[in-house]
Chain A
Amino acid sequence: MSLFFDAALILLAIVVALKVVTGRDPLTDVIAFIAYGIVLTLVWVRLAAVDVALTEVAVGSGATGLVLLRAAGAAATAKQEARPGRVTKGLAALVSLVVFLLLAAAVLAWPKPQPSLALAVAEHLPATGLGNPITGVLIVFRALDTLLETVVLLLALVGIWALAPDRTGARAWSGTPAPLSGMTPSGAQVLLAQLLLPVGLLVTVYQFWAGANVPAGAFQGGAVLGAMWVLLLLARLAPLPRLEQPGLAVLVLAGPFAFLATGLAGWVWAGGFLDYPEGIEKPVIIVVEAAIVVSIGVTLGLLVLGPAGPQAADRPGADAS
């Protein structure tokens, strides 16, 4: 019975994916993509990976969907490249089919028993004082990846802000982003906000509940925090931020730099880089984690908002470089 359910989910994901790839209308495609993310979320739950499911629904489906909605309006007006001909499509289908068959063969031929690091994590997790194994991997065992992941977010923000139209002033990227509902029919976005707001609330409640039961399991909360902020902006319950505010910069930088500082401090108070001091690992980790949650949340929100738009103070054509 449960296998039947899994098969139905997978089938649904495939149908929706095909719809996204073959559809003709940008807005419909993006909404189908959001549905794809929600189906994947359910599959992750079926794989007993609740942490991943949360990230998928908040970031993979929610935040990504919101960003893509911003592009859907522009895509409708952008010039289209020539649609690919039959030969291209046929070749692409052939390549994809071959890749599928090879991957399927690889999936079915995986070794038994599956090599896994689960036992190694279980063995060393108590030494970290953490209860959630995924947090342990993210913040302790593979902390370098996570530190650099926060830098990736920061870098994406720098890259996006650099796309702001030129204007004379102290900071090239100063000003507020264009309103979220400026580009696409606001009806769809309002509907989405109404649909996602309860989901987001539910997820946040779960985070708190999980935080109580599984120590320091709220790492994925940053994504939900960001999504909630964007929802508030969508519903026009919060004002658009001015990007040059120093306070905003502090929020954005707090996570990566608290993490980096802790890492460097490891040479002083422990055995080396990203090594946590013995005995007080857990409080240190919780402080770092809290900073990361805030920074990831704010950065995700800012990435959705995009670069500063044309400002009311600017005259059109005033972009002298």
Chain B
Amino acid sequence: MSLPMIAAPPPTLAGALLVLVVVLPLLGFLPFFFLGARIAERLALGLLALGLIGALAIAAEVSGSGAAVAYFIGGWAPPLGVALRADGFSALMLAMTAAALLATGLFAMTGIGAARPRMPPVFWPLVLAAACALNLAFTAEDLFTLFVALELLTFAAVPLVCLDGRPAQYEAALRYLLYALFGSALYLLGVVLIYGLYGTLDILLIAGRVAVEARSPPALMLALALMSVGLMAKAALFPFYLWLPPAHAGAPAAASAMLSAVVIKAPLFLLLRLWLDLAPQTLAFAAGPLIAACGAGAILLCGLFALGQKRLKLMIAYSTAAQIGYLCLVVPLAAGAADGGLALTAGAIHLVSHAFSKAAMFMAAGLIYEALGHDRMDGLRGVGRALPVSLFAFALGGASLMGLPPSGGFTAKVMLLTAAVGQQAWWIVAVVMAGGLLAAGYVLKVIVPALQAPDRPLEITPVSRGREMVALALALGAVALGFLPLEPSPFLAIGRPGAWAEAVQ
């Protein structure tokens, strides 16, 4: 039984860019072995800047041509070969990742007074490897190539967690690795079952086969379930959130920002693709509420845990575990419904605004830690006067998490609520509202004391103004997303399946 080959895409510059944004970061390995930390840093920043230019060029091409960009590696068409493809959603993810990673790089840059990661020559290749893995995860069409991307991401992220070399970090890194391995094993098991059913690993080809089946085979349901659980373990989605807080809170600030902002977004993005692009609509309808229930658990429980934290960085980490729950709420609302575009747009804006605001908050928390020498919640009185810029960045990021206008968080929540009301999913409405209140609780718990006068003069170690500005710029990015129109984005519809996307095109 042979599958129809897909016609090769015309060779375009944007297609070549898809390959380059994946493989060029690998050049960052050379300095690790041969050159000093200073050169490693300059090369890394240069590559990250090039990555941003490449990602923006891809987005411009997708937007300009109104079609997805694709590239067949080595000229071999799927199912035999591997395809890279960027539709509107993927292009947005590429741009977001490139921007967040460049900001992380600027924040981590060695400067006067900058608290360097313990081993700069290790930090930079890991950041670049993460860039390679993320760009691959957002563009690969092949389920096994996606597995390799997820593994690369894990191998880049785990050493970042223990850069400072404290025993607690080793423990957090080990736990992270074990959860990630559990996740990748289940994901790959699902991939094996799908290959057994359809003899291909290309998502587009599988989706084409799945859509015309009268009844989905039980093995497909099992495969989707296994892959979902695997991706949830990798993304730290409830109930698999246990590994995230110690790992993200224990890492150096630049690494925390990157891990929370973009690294866990790759498995989440794939979870959305699995149910919106690959699974048959009937299955997505049936499974959507289950996934959304996990999201609700994340928003409510991890939100409560965040409220109870005594350390600033742990609080922000629990907030990450809570915030990713919103993306699960998107699945039932976006799966095949006529107004699915609204929910998908909400999810995409939430992904990006959470990335920017959470990176800003982790950076601000890192600066506060550096200035005070601790990050205990009960010792934050007066920080607002000592570090106004950092606290402002933290507050702006927090406002987006709460969903205050104008912010990406507000825009995303309004659209999510509109979609939920439109489909009369009242429990989702309730969860979104409660989640906003919890976020308000834990953000204000930091900001209110920080704005008060300190009990006694604070001993402040000066921090770099440039690094404060990076945090502020990211937070302002999250605010800027609040000025997007409250409607399904035509850009996100480009190259995507579904009734809504076809109507827009």
Contact = CB atoms under 8 A, between A and B. Distances in A.
Direct touch of chains A and B (CB < 8 A): yes
Interface of A: 102-103, 105-107, 109-111, 113-117, 119-121, 124, 140-145, 147-149, 151-152, 154-156, 158-159, 161-163, 166, 171-172, 246, 249, 252-253, 256-257, 260, 263-264, 266-267, 271-276, 321
A92 B82 CA distance: 37
Given A145-B82, A148-B148, A271 B75 contact: yes
B483 interface: no
B239 to A, nearest CB: 13
Contacts of A267: 16
Given A106-B193, A172-B122, A273 B158 contact: no
B2 A148 contact: no
Interface in B1-46: 1-3, 11, 16, 19, 23, 26, 29-30, 32-34
Interface in B217-251: 217-219, 222-223
A105 B218 contact: yes
Interface residues of B, number: 57
B225 to A, nearest CB: 9
Nearest to A166: B165
B364 to A, nearest CB: 24
Given A110-B196, A166-B118, A152 B32 contact: no
Nearest to B177: A159
A33 to B, nearest CB: 15
B76 interface: yes
Contacts of B30: 253, 257
Main secondary structure of the interface of B (DSSP, over half): helix
Interface of B: 1-3, 11, 16, 19, 23, 26, 29-30, 32-34, 71, 73-76, 79-82, 118-119, 121-122, 125-126, 129, 132, 136, 144-145, 148-149, 151-152, 155-156, 158-159, 162-163, 165, 170, 189, 193, 196-200, 217-219, 222-223
A203 B222 CA distance: 38
Nearest to A172: B119
Nearest to A146: B148
A40 to B, nearest CB: 16
B68 to A, nearest CB: 18
Contacts of B19: 273
Q: Which 7 A-B pairs have the closest CB atoms?
A: A115-B199, A249-B33, A106-B219, A159-B159, A274-B74, A155-B155, A162-B122
Given A106-B196, A114-B196, A155 B152 contact: yes
Contacts of B144: 142, 145
Contacts of B145: 142, 144-145, 148
Contact of B71 (A111, A154, A158, A273): A273
Contacts of A115: 1, 3, 197-200
Contacts of A264: 23
Contacts, number: 153
A288 to B, nearest CB: 13
Contact of A142 (B26, B82, B136, B193): B82
A141 B81 contact: yes
Contacts of A256: 26, 29
A264 B27 CA distance: 12
Contacts of B162: 162-163
A109 B218 contact: yes
12 contacts: A103-B193, A105-B219, A110-B196, A110-B197, A117-B80, A124-B76, A143-B74, A148-B149, A152-B152, A158-B125, A158-B126, A272-B16
A147 B155 CA distance: 15
B400 to A, nearest CB: 33
A152 B33 contact: no
A141 B196 contact: no
Nearest to B162: A163
A99 to B, nearest CB: 8
Given A156-B155, A158-B122, A273-B16, A140 B74 contact: yes
A273 B198 CA distance: 28
Which residue, of A111, A158, A256, A276, has the highest number of chain B Cβ atoms within 10 A?
A158
Given A102-B218, A148-B148, A156-B155, 4 more contacts: A115-B197, A162-B119, A257-B30, A275-B74
A266 B3 CA distance: 27
A151 B22 CA distance: 12
Given A166-B165, A172-B119, A151 B152 contact: yes
A321 B11 CA distance: 51
A149 B132 CA distance: 13
Given A141-B80, A172-B122, A152 B148 contact: yes
Nearest to B129: A155
B16 to A, nearest CB: 7
A162 B1 CA distance: 49
Given A140-B76, A272-B11, A273-B71, A113 B1 contact: yes
Which residue, of A124, A154, A159, has the highest number of chain B Cβ atoms within 10 A?
A159
A119 B162 CA distance: 47
Nearest to B121: A172
A173 to B, nearest CB: 8
Contacts of A151: 26, 29, 129, 132, 152
